[in-house]
Amino acid sequence: MSSKLIDLENIESPVKSPIIESTVDFIRKIYGDGAIPLHRPIFDGNEKAYLSDCIDSNFVSSAGAKVFEFEDKVASFTGAKHAVAVVNGTNALQVALLVAGVNAGDEVITQALTFVATCNAISYAGANPVFIDVDKDTVGMSPASLREFLEGNAFRKGGQAFNKSSGKRIKACLPMHTFGLPCRIQEISDICKEWGIHLVEDAAESLGSFYGKRHTGTFGLLGAISFNGNKIITTGGGGMLLTDDDQLAKRAKHITTTAKIPHKYEFWHDEVGFNYRLPSLNAALGVAQMEQLHWMLEMKERVAREYCEFFSSIGWQMVHPLQNCKSNNWLNAIVLGNQKERNAFLEYTNEKNIMTRPIWRLMSELEMFKHCQNDGLKNSKWLEERVVNLPSSVPNEFK
Ligand SMILES: *Cc1c(COP(=O)(O)O)cnc(C)c1O
């Protein structure tokens, strides 16, 4: 991957160059004047009506039909057999790992190039992350790096995988579909099966993204989606677990609803559970948002197409989904030539009130995950220095 260098000689202080300025003009042409956020929610459907239903019926909290309706809608859209709503995407990941059997002292393989919630969820389960490199094209976990790591650093015993250096069980693998771009999930799934490692997908950013014909988050034992305010659709805050496994779905529902044994009036709980139930108010928003998802995805595709045409005309590199995949185009991203160019671009655009932001810092650089094993993370470091997200909301004029 390469991109045409910005003419750094011509970048003055405050940073500018003709090519960055033409990018700013292009973004202004799409989004108009004023401050341009990275991603804003759209409430153009039945949001207010469904919220009123909740208030009028007194079902605003964790009981009521809206939660089940929302779960059904997400299950049928994604093709997952079960969907279990929870208060946010981080908790969805935490519970997914828990019901997949991840315990204190286990190891979970993930990518260092991700949002911190992925690794926080692993920590909540008492497990340690192990960081594997990503592919440059998908910005998601590299199956080649995963295989290489396992062959060099793990051994099998009784159909399970163990880390040679720590002696600990590698219980799960948690890849992430970055910005909605599906990673090579089928290959990752095959490797996990060979090694007896449970696959759990962080599909927080990828509602509406498909690998082949199959929705992301449905390749593993479980997947997790987020409905935070900046995601493709939002419930204010919210998350969803996906699984085809009847028992795991039942257990996820049970432990996220205080582990209460259903009974007309008795309070009986059979383990330490969580109060992670999604309130009806949030689910009402979710039902309305799901009704607009198809339209939203079409509009997001239009934005991505326009960016793509513009950047190919100036010779800059965008991140594109793999040929056999469909991205939800949640956040558009460009790959700049080097860190200096990236900084110049971020500086200039943000100064112009256009919100652009760099990809996350590697988890392996954060204090709490510094000690965790990694495989060198060559591509992750390369991308960390170059990738920038662009404003990606559905523009008003598209509606
Ligand atoms: C948003 C996000 C989460 C967490 O979702 P919340 O609903 O904010 O808790 C987890 N992983 C990734 C990759 C995300 O982008």
Ligand 1 atom with the shortest distance to the CA of 91: 9
For 47-291, CATH number out of 3.40.718.10, 3.40.640.10, 3.40.190.10, 3.30.460.80 equals 3.40.640.10
33 pLDDT higher than 90: yes
Name the percent of the chain lying above pLDDT 70. Answer: 96
**What does the alpha-carbon distance between residue 359 and residue 389 come to, in Å, rounded to a whole number?**
7
**What does the alpha-carbon distance between residue 84 and residue 317 come to, in Å, rounded to a whole number?**
38
Residue tagged 């950013």 (tokens): 205
Residue 3 binned pLDDT confidence (cut-offs 50, 70, 90): very low
Q: How far is the CA of 239 from the centre of ligand 1 (A)?
A: 9
Start-end of CATH 3.40.640.10 domains in the chain:
47-291
What are the backbone angles phi and psi of residue 104, rounded to the nearest 5°? Answer: -55, 135
Ligand 1 atom with the shortest distance to the CA of 93: 10
pLDDT on residue 54 = 92
Q: How far is the CA of 121 from the centre of ligand 1 (A)?
A: 10
Start-end of CATH 3.90.1150.10 domains in the chain:
14-43+293-398
Rounded to an integer, what is the distance from CA 392 to the centroid of its chain?
15
Average model confidence (pLDDT) for the chain? 94
pTM: 0.95
Q: Whose CA is nearest to atom 14 of ligand 1?
A: 204
Pocket test for ligand 1, best of 39, 88, 90 (most atoms within 8 A of CB): 90
Give the closest residue to 286 by CA, choosing from 37, 67, 60, 1. Answer: 67
Q: Tell me the per-residue pLDDT of 68-82, one tens digit each, with 9 for 90 and over.
A: 999 999 999 999 999
Q: Average pLDDT of 160-176?
A: 98
147 pLDDT higher than 60: yes
Q: Tell me the per-residue pLDDT of 74-133, one tens digit each, with 9 for 90 and over.
A: 999 999 999 999 999 999 999 999 999 999 999 999 999 999 999 999 999 999 999 999
Q: Whose CA is nearest to atom 13 of ligand 1?
A: 115
Residue 18 binned pLDDT confidence (cut-offs 50, 70, 90): confident
Ligand 1 atom with the shortest distance to the CA of 231: 1
For 14-43+293-398, CATH number out of 3.30.110.40, 3.40.1260.10, 3.30.70.960, 3.90.1150.10 equals 3.90.1150.10
Q: Whose CA is nearest to atom 10 of ligand 1?
A: 117
**What does the alpha-carbon distance between residue 222 and residue 218 come to, in Å, rounded to a whole number?**
7
Q: Tell me the per-residue pLDDT of 206-244, one tens digit each, with 9 for 90 and over.
A: 999 999 999 999 999 999 999 999 999 999 999 999 999
Mode of pairing for the β-strands spanning 107-111 and 154-157: unpaired
Ligand 1 atom with the shortest distance to the CA of 176: 13
**What does the alpha-carbon distance between residue 171 and residue 352 come to, in Å, rounded to a whole number?**
47
Q: Tell me the per-residue pLDDT of 330-372, one tens digit each, with 9 for 90 and over.
A: 999 999 989 988 999 999 999 999 999 999 999 999 999 999 9
pLDDT on residue 255 = 97
Give the closest residue to 344 by CA, choosing from 360, 362, 358, 330. Answer: 358
Q: Tell me the per-residue pLDDT of 248-293, one tens digit each, with 9 for 90 and over.
A: 999 999 999 999 998 999 999 999 999 999 999 999 999 999 999 9
**What does the alpha-carbon distance between residue 379 and residue 303 come to, in Å, rounded to a whole number?**
27
Q: Whose CA is nearest to atom 6 of ligand 1?
A: 89
How far is residue 94 from each of residues 58, 127, 140, 194, 387, measured CA to CA in Å? 30, 11, 20, 24, 28
Ligand 1 proximal residues by C-beta, below 6 Å? 88-90, 114-115, 117-118, 176, 202, 204-205, 226, 228, 239
16 pLDDT higher than 90: no
Q: Whose CA is nearest to atom 2 of ligand 1?
A: 204
Mode of pairing for the β-strands spanning 210-211 and 387-390: unpaired
Contact present, 297 and 392 (Cβ < 8 Å): no
Pocket test for ligand 1, best of 74, 95, 123, 228 (most atoms within 8 A of CB): 228
15 pLDDT higher than 60: no
Ligand 1 atom with the shortest distance to the CA of 118: 11
Pocket test for ligand 1, best of 202, 222, 363, 392 (most atoms within 8 A of CB): 202
Residues 6+ apart with CB under 8 A from 49: 288
